[in-house]
Structure formats: C-alpha cells, structure tokens
A and B are shown apart, each in its own frame.
Chain A
Amino acid sequence: MSQADRGIVSDSLGVGLATGAYGISFGAISTASGLDVAQTCALSLLVFTGATQFAFVGVIASGGAPLAGALTGLLLGSRNLFYGLTLAPLLRLRGLRRVASAHLVIDESTAMAITRSSGQHARLGFYWTGISIFVLWNLTTLLGALAGNALGDPRAYGLDAAVGAAFLGLLWPRLGSTLARCVAVLAAAVALGLVPVTAAGMPIIVGGAVAVLAGMLVRARGPA
C-alpha cells in the first residue's frame, strides 16, 4: 500500500470513527421516542442512512403516524440517489458487487470518495469509510438503545431536546447560501403554523414541500 493509499485509509477511518460514535445518540433518542431495541437496531442495520433514521424516530416522537415517519425518511433518503449518480463512474460496479455496495452509499462515504483523482483511490475512500461506519454505527446504536432504555424518563435527561440538536447538526453544514437559510426558516414557519391544525407528522411533510417549491420558484426567476 502506497503512502497516498495509507493516507486515504486513515482519513476514512477517522471519519468512520467520528460518525460511528454518534450512533449512541441515535440509539438513545430512538428508544426515548418509543421504539423498542429491536426496531432501533433494525433501522440502523436496514435503513442505514442517519438523517432518515433521525427523521423517522423524530416524527414518531412528536406523535406522528409511523407511515408519516416513513414518508419523511424516504424524502430525506432521496439525496442518496444523487450520491449514487456521482459515485457510479468512479466506482464502476457491476452485478453483485453493485447490489452489495449500494447499502454503503451515504453522506460520508460519498464525501470521502468523490474528491479523489483516481477510481482506485475513490474505491479506497468509499469502502473504508462506508464499512467502518456500518460496523460502528450498528454497535453504537445497540449500546445507545440499551442505555436509553435503562435511563427511564427521557425528558429528565433532555433527550427530547437532543433530537432537535441532532437535526440542527445535520442541517448546519447545508446552510451555506442565503437561499438555503430562507428555505429552512420558511419550512420551520409553515410547519409550526400547521401543528395546531393537522395530524402529527403532516406539518413536516407539508412545510418541507412548500419551502422546496418556494425555493425552486426563487431560483427559477433570480440569478442562478
């Protein structure tokens, strides 16, 4: 393994360690939201995309129907489709390899692959990051879920506020442009306006949709 390769592997493991660790907060928040340990672990094993998992349990925590949680989660998961498009020409996967690798397409594995100059380096970044996160994320989810269950009343530990903080941590790096900040604030305002009048879970989906449409209209008219 060349020095450049070793650098990519250690960077990838660093990202894997940092990201994998916050599976603890997902596990604890999920059981605090009313899911059991098996459901919490199933989300990390089978869904394996952080923002979607947090959204799913967040909707259920706010009293929403599980299907509203699924819809919100799927909308958030749609970004992985675009990550896959960017990764495809770099990773050049066929057949079973593609079927198995698809599960690892997430924010971090994409970020650690798309900046590389060669396909071989992109694959190193993608697999070392994706696999290390998958292993750690599932272990820490189980630990967090067991700890969350043992704690008792989640409100006494502020775990309900931790959900909002987790969402904010995921949103923060995406607020680079004025348009993004306006869309986020509009979505929040519309969602809050709908809280008293619609079923739980709906304010998030409708608020999000209204803000995306508004953002698209502004972009269509204003400078790109």
Chain B
Amino acid sequence: MSPTWIAILLTAAGCYALKLAGLSVPQRLLSHPRTVRAAELIPVALLGALIAVQVLGNDSAVVLDARVVGIGVAVVLLWLRVPFLPMVIAAAAATALVRLLF
C-alpha cells in the first residue's frame, strides 16, 4: 500500500474515533476550561499556518507570486460576505488571470 493510502486510512480511523469518543465519554472529562480553550485555538492556529505556507511557500523557499493576488481577492470577498464557493472560484480566477497576463 502506498504511503498516501496509509495516511488516508489513518486519518479516517483517527477522525472517526474522535467523533465517536465525543459522543461516548462523560462530559466532565473534557470540560476543563483549559482544554476547551485549546480546542478553540487549535483550528485557528493550524489554518493560519496552512494559509501562510500555501500562499507564500514554494518547496523550501518563501516567494511572492500570483497566489498573493488570489488571496487578496479572497480577503475582499470574505469581507463583503460572499459565500464560500464563489469566493474560492474568484480567488483561483484572479490568480490564473495574473499568470496569463504577466
């Protein structure tokens, strides 16, 4: 089995286990305020890091290229409360347009 398939199955098993555990364990076990705060911050931090690497990373270098225009468009559209799918499509289109023109 390829490493990608192994990783997919691990992710699936782990994510299902997390969902089932939430429905199964007694509530007081995980209701400590510090645990709840960490749970709120983890997605924020990981998504922040993912965005940075996705937009500015290129193998082992940090570069500014057409992707920055795409994410700029995404920021403006999110600010204007445009829904998810049109926002993502517009970001991709803006990036593609910059690549076509320059």
Which residues of A pack against B, CB within 8 Å? Answer: 18, 21-22, 24-25, 35, 39, 42-43, 46-49, 51-52, 54-56, 58-63, 65-67, 69-70, 72-85, 87-89, 91, 93, 98-99, 101-103, 105, 155-172, 174-175, 179-180, 183-192, 195-197, 200, 203-205, 207-209, 211-212, 215-216, 219-220
Contacts and interface: CB of A to CB of B under 8 A. Distances in A.
B42 A196 contact: no
Given A42-B12, A56-B11, A80-B15, A184 B48 contact: yes
A43 B88 CA distance: 20
B54 A58 contact: yes
A91 B88 CA distance: 34
A18 B11 contact: no
Contacts of A191: 48-50, 52-53
A55 B8 CA distance: 12
A151 B93 CA distance: 14
Nearest to B78: A172
A152 B19 CA distance: 36
A72 B11 CA distance: 9
A192 B52 contact: yes
A169 B78 contact: yes
A85 B23 CA distance: 6
Given A65-B3, A156-B99, 7 more contacts: A47-B8, A55-B50, A74-B11, A82-B22, A158-B99, A195-B62, A203-B53
A163 B54 contact: yes
A130 to B, nearest CB: 11
Nearest to B73: A165
Listed residue (B25, B50, B75, B84) with the most chain A CB atoms within 10 angstroms of its CB: B50
A208 B6 contact: no
A78 B96 contact: no
A56 B37 CA distance: 24
Contacts of B14: 70, 74, 77
Contact of A157 (B4, B47, B59, B96): B96
Contact of B37 (A89, A185, A205, A219): A219
A99 B20 CA distance: 7
Contacts of A158: 66-67, 70, 91-97, 99
Contacts of A22: 84-85, 88
A203 B49 CA distance: 7
Contacts of A73: 11, 15
A66 B18 contact: no
B21 interface: yes
A47 B5 CA distance: 12
A159 B96 CA distance: 8
B74 A169 contact: yes
B48 A192 contact: no
A6 B39 CA distance: 33
A61 B20 CA distance: 29
Listed residue (A75, A83, A162, A179) with the most chain B CB atoms within 10 angstroms of its CB: A162
Contacts of B74: 164-165, 168-169
A52 B27 CA distance: 24
